[in-house]
Amino acid sequence: MIIENTTIPTDAGLVIGSILIDEGKILKVKRTPLLVDADVRIDGSGLIALPGAVDVHVHFRDFDLAYKEDFYSGSCAAVAGGVTTVFDMPNTKPPVNNSYYLEQRISLGKMKSLTNFAFHVGYPDNDKNLEKELVDMYELGARSIKLYAYEHDNFSNVLEKIIEVVKKKGLRDFRFCIHAEDKAMIEKNEKTHESHIKDLEYHNLVRSEYAEAKVVSEVLNIVRKHKIPVHICHISSQLSINLLKEAKKEKLPISTEVTPHHVFLYLEKVKPMGPFAKTNPPIRPRETSLKLLDALINGPIDFISSDHAPHTYREKEQGIDDIREAPSGVVGVETLLPLMFDLLSRDMITFSRFLEVVSYKQIETFKIKNKGGLTSGYDADLVLIDPKTEWTIKGENLHGRTKFTPFEGQKVKGLVKYTIVQGLLVYNNGDILIKNGVGEYIGEEW
């Protein structure tokens, strides 16, 4: 494959050039034309070539919840949005919390996924099997465990217990991913706000910013004690940002993400959507969303992830009269890169920082090999985007199974035209070109 006449980001700035790809790798990047034969030639005139976006927080469902999304439909949405690598979450049904289900998950990914993929695993059901299951899943390529603080009465003890196993067994580069919401505080808030109408505002009050910050504070203290790498998912609180600023000054091995719906949406805007905008942690008031956007652009937040969490329309509408009856989660893997590119087009983020938050920092944090570069030797995972086309996000046009989005009607500038994974053209101007899995299981590279 040759991509000709495209704009390529380099250390010296943006240049016009050509990219030669063969056997899944980038072979050459030159400013002059590449005068060689090719099976596929793409005219990149007017387009910008970017490393494929990396989304380390998706819920591609499958297993018993395949009616909501499966690896194929989820990865179709990903590549349509320029995402070429995803990390799938373990709260499937059944959950990926032992080696048996992880092996099944790997097989599904190889059969179905158009993106490269890896897995966060869950906390094993039986503490007696904790050590064995963690080791077995590690040997299968798992390098991170997702822990939901609100599922445990004493979350700090749970985290300490797993750290002990990881240290004892020498599981190198193992990272802990934390959903930071305190169980006791949520339960207290439910009683405090019992008389409040059960809407999105109630959901925001119950799963408050304080409930998040309490867990963030506890986790940072454990990191100080053990010096182990921890990743905190979907930060949604100004209080958490303040804690993270101090952690960064201390150079603690901590990484953080924020979602598009927490930085580009706010409670006052989505409140009319009711259960269709319900997610955990909740979408916050506008003042907080602006603080989160600033923390993404300028730090201390490291990067952006979608927390793509599809549900059916019928499941969501059950919360029309009582928000508690609807499942939490919104879709976002397909709109992540376009929303960020729109930010770039409005000069609200530098090009270098844009590349960091959509790709480079994820690769650095999770030690992903051979990805994120547009130079010779890197895996050919890239996207070509039209920087001038303005378009409107519509749920009916999304490529996953969920056809509604909290970003309905939002205009963005920057349209994904082509997506290439492992040197294969998988997405071309609105069309998915591949019907089976072509993505790499990157767990085999660790």
- CATH number for the domain including 334? 3.20.20.140
340 located within any domain: yes
> CB under 8 Å to 329, separation ≥6 — which residues?
59, 278, 279, 280, 307, 309, 310, 311
- The one-letter code for the residue type at 423 is G
Q: What's the confidence (pLDDT) of residue 126?
A: 80
DSSP codes of every residue in 383-407: EEEEEEEEEE--GGG-SSS----TT
State the catalytic residue, choosing from 55, 88, 307, 342: 307
Report which of 197, 142, 200 is spatially closest to residue 173, judged by C-alpha positions. 142
Q: What's the confidence (pLDDT) of residue 197?
A: 97
249 located within any domain: yes
Q: What's the confidence (pLDDT) of residue 238?
A: 97
Backbone angles phi, psi at 354, to 5 degrees: -55, -50
Q: What's the confidence (pLDDT) of residue 349?
A: 98
Q: What's the confidence (pLDDT) of residue 89?
A: 98
271 located within any domain: yes
Report which of 301, 302, 303, 280 is spatially closest to residue 292, judged by C-alpha positions. 301
- Residue 180, token pair as written in the block: 């930071």
Q: Which domain holds residue 124?
A: 53-370+389-410
CA atoms within 13 A on the CB side of 411: 5
Specify the pairing of strand 431-432 against strand 48-51. unpaired
438 located within any domain: no
State the Cα–Cα distance between residues 252 and 268, nearest whole angstrom: 35
Q: What is the pLDDT along the chain (446 residues), one digit of tens a residue?
A: 999 999 999 888 899 999 999 999 999 999 988 888 999 999 999 999 999 999 999 999 999 999 999 999 999 999 999 999 999 999 999 999 999 999 999 999 999 999 999 999 999 988 888 999 999 999 999 999 999 999 999 999 999 999 999 999 999 999 999 999 999 999 999 999 999 999 999 999 999 999 999 999 999 999 999 999 999 999 999 999 999 999 999 999 999 999 999 999 999 999 999 999 999 999 999 999 999 999 999 999 999 999 999 999 999 999 999 999 999 999 999 999 999 999 999 999 999 999 999 999 999 999 999 999 999 999 999 999 999 999 999 999 999 999 999 999 999 999 999 999 999 999 999 999 999 999 999 999 88
Q: At what angle do helices 209-226 and 155-169 cross, to 10 degrees?
A: 30
Q: Is 307 one of the annotated active-site residues of the chain?
A: yes
24 located within any domain: no
30 located within any domain: no
Report which of 206, 175, 158, 163 is spatially closest to residue 368, judged by C-alpha positions. 175
Dihedral sign for Cα atoms in the order 178, 154, 170, 245: positive
State the Cα–Cα distance between residues 168 and 165, nearest whole angstrom: 5
DSSP codes of every residue in 125-184: S-GGGHHHHHHHHHHTT--EEEEEGGG-TTHHHHHHHHHHHHHHHT-TT-EEEEE---HH
39 located within any domain: no
Q: What's the confidence (pLDDT) of residue 206?
A: 98
Domains in the chain, number: 1
Q: What's the confidence (pLDDT) of residue 35?
A: 84
Specify the pairing of strand 431-432 against strand 424-428. antiparallel
pTM of the model as a whole? 0.97
29 located within any domain: no
Backbone angles phi, psi at 333, to 5 degrees: -65, -30
> CB under 8 Å to 391, separation ≥6 — which residues?
411, 412, 415
